[in-house]
Amino acid sequence: MRRSLHIKLVLIMVLLIVSLMVVVGAFLMNSVTGYYIDEFYQQITDAFSQENVDFVRYLQTATEDEEDGAAMVSAVLSTYEGLLGVDRRNRNYFVLDGADHGRCLDGSAPIPEGGVPITTNISSALLGVPGLHSNVTADYMDAAIPITRGGHPYIVYILDSRETARNLNTEMFSLIMEALVLGLIISVLLSFLLSMTMVTPLQRLTDGIEEVARGDFSRKLEVTSGDEIGQLTASFNAMAQQLETTIAAVENERNKLDTLFLHMADGVVAFDREEWVIHSNPAAARLLGRTFTQEDRYGELFGDLYTFQQAEAAPAGGLAGSRTVDGRYLELLLAPFAREGQGGVLVLIHDVTEQRKAEQMRKDFVANVSHELRTPLTNIKSYAETLADGVGDLPSEMEKKFLGVILNESDRMTHILQDLLTLSRFDSGRSELRLTTFPFAKAVDDTYQAILMDAQNHSHTVKLRLPGHMPEVRADRERVMQVMMNIVSNAIKYTPDGGRIIISAGYIGDKVWMEVDDNGIGIPESDRDRIFERFYRVDKARSRQSGGTGLGLSIAQEIMNQHEGGLYLVDKEEPGLTIRMELPIQGPQKESGHEG
């Protein structure tokens, strides 16, 4: 770069000097010639003007006995040589015969052979008009003035070879040439100087720019002068600094976006204008159950929903689609993105499986509640109507029985509503535990004592197995008892009369546990996952008959969850069911209750 700029500088300088010299030289030389010519004619005109009356008179006045007029004219001219500028070398005078076609009669120089050539000025003088015209193209100047002496017409002819002007021009030309050489030397030196003051800082600037272009912003260029280059260097430093800050900010943004993309639950797949995959996140691969490469194209992935052109022309909110992959419901949103000619299509994948399930559960729940309440209500209504229709006609036992049914059904409804209320409290987080520390073994024993009668009514054998030592537990005693009662009464309910029920308890690590094992009807494999769902009952008729609502185990599990414990079915080979509850000895760690 340095060399080329230097050569350019030298060339410009040389060109400048040469063109300047050519213009000045041409102008000067032209001026000198012009001046010389003007001077000549002015001198001749002045010589023959009124100012030099004597000279003109001597020329024109012949003496009385004059024999050779031309010689006399020549003598006068010779005397007045200075006036006419005749030097007899470059400028001479000639006396021509005005009556004989300008024949040369005399002159200050030898008469050329064949006489003086007849020029335009001589022709003019032959007609009696002074010939004072300059011929630019000729290499001479002449003037022809007609005079009359002694009645004979003569022509005073002054001829200048322009040699003086030519010599002057030659002199000037060599002077200009010398100046040119000097100018060229100066220009080369000057361009070196310019190169030192301009090109070197520019070179440094270029190096700096190249480094910045390579991404290295650390180097600061030294500002060595206050001139334009210095300002440029300072501006460049400021620009590099700004660029560094901007790039850092952009990088930061991109990292943020990358992290977001990487960890977001929704899938994102981006396509460029040519429909190739340019970006995808792990969530997209997980949700669609496949990996993406840059070889994948829009058509084979989402072409079934919309064409690429449709997606590219999607309205502001994008185009919505849905798809089911491996039993999961996915909602897709296709939207274009564009920026300065680049762009493409972005596909967002949102997993709505849980939402759908929750929605379905909500619908089922409402349907279940309606159904559960309608049955006792229908019974109450029909018995009440029968009673109302037959007031006084029905036997009193019948009335008693009917009223008994009505009371039973209302109790059942109250029971259901109470259970629903309890669940609703759990759902809204309004149900707080009243935590106390109590002996766990005592609670198990109390449950055992409470159900003993009921079990005996069904001829069940109930065994209680408690270890010698059991720790105290921090929990809501009333709720824990509710869970225990629920699972033990289920064992009684769902075991045919004469069954065997074993209640055992113990502790392991920081947990206490209680298991209730029966040899009853058990739960079919397909229903095992669902018995903790609200209103779920394996055998609806049997459950209802025994006063069950299908909400007991849901509530029990909620209570255990709130205690950070658990309620599970234990796998077993023999018929019947084993259900186990676990509680942390220290009570729940998340503060969801208060000390009661």
Q: Which parts of this chain interact with ligand ADP (CB under 6 A)?
A: 486, 490-491, 494, 518, 520-523, 531, 537-539, 543, 548-554, 577
Report the nearest approach of ligand ADP to the CB of residue 478 (Å). Answer: 18
Report the nearest approach of ligand ADP to the CB of residue 579 (Å). Answer: 6
Burial class (CB in 10 A: 0-12, 13-18, 19+), 198: middle
Report the nearest approach of ligand ADP to the CB of residue 261 (Å). Answer: 44
Please give the residue whose beta carbon sits closest to ligand ADP in the complex.
Answer: 548
User: Please, how many CA atoms are within 13 Å of residue 423, restricted to the half-sphere of its CB?
Assistant: 21
The smaller minimum CB distance to ligand ADP, of residues 190 and 538, is found at: 538
The smaller minimum CB distance to ligand ADP, of residues 125 and 523, is found at: 523
The smaller minimum CB distance to ligand ADP, of residues 240 and 556, is found at: 556
The smaller minimum CB distance to ligand ADP, of residues 198 and 464, is found at: 464
Q: Which of 422, 427, 293 is nearest to 358 (CA)?
A: 427
Cross-sheet strand order for the sheet of 461-465: 461-465, 500-508, 511-518, 578-584, 566-570
Rounded CA separation 321/305 (Å):
7
The smaller minimum CB distance to ligand ADP, of residues 462 and 553, is found at: 553
- The answer to whether 440 and 470 have CB atoms below 8 angstroms apart is yes
The smaller minimum CB distance to ligand ADP, of residues 188 and 538, is found at: 538
Query: Which is it for the CA torsion 166, 167, 171, 174, positive or negative?
Result: positive
Report the nearest approach of ligand ADP to the CB of residue 548 (Å). Answer: 3
The smaller minimum CB distance to ligand ADP, of residues 507 and 535, is found at: 535
Report the nearest approach of ligand ADP to the CB of residue 543 (Å). Answer: 3
Residue 535 φ/ψ, nearest 5 degrees: 70, 5
The smaller minimum CB distance to ligand ADP, of residues 40 and 536, is found at: 536
The owner of tokens 């009223």 is 403
Query: Which is it for the CA torsion 317, 323, 325, 329, positive or negative?
Result: positive
Report the nearest approach of ligand ADP to the CB of residue 496 (Å). Answer: 11
Q: In the chain, what is the greatest distance between 2 CA atoms, to the nearest angstrom?
A: 202
Rounded CA separation 13/184 (Å):
8
Report the nearest approach of ligand ADP to the CB of residue 483 (Å). Answer: 10
User: 499 by DSSP, 3-state: which?
Assistant: coil
**Burial 175-192, CB ≥16 within 10 A → b, else e:** ebeeebeebbeebeeebe
Report the nearest approach of ligand ADP to the CB of residue 491 (Å). Answer: 5
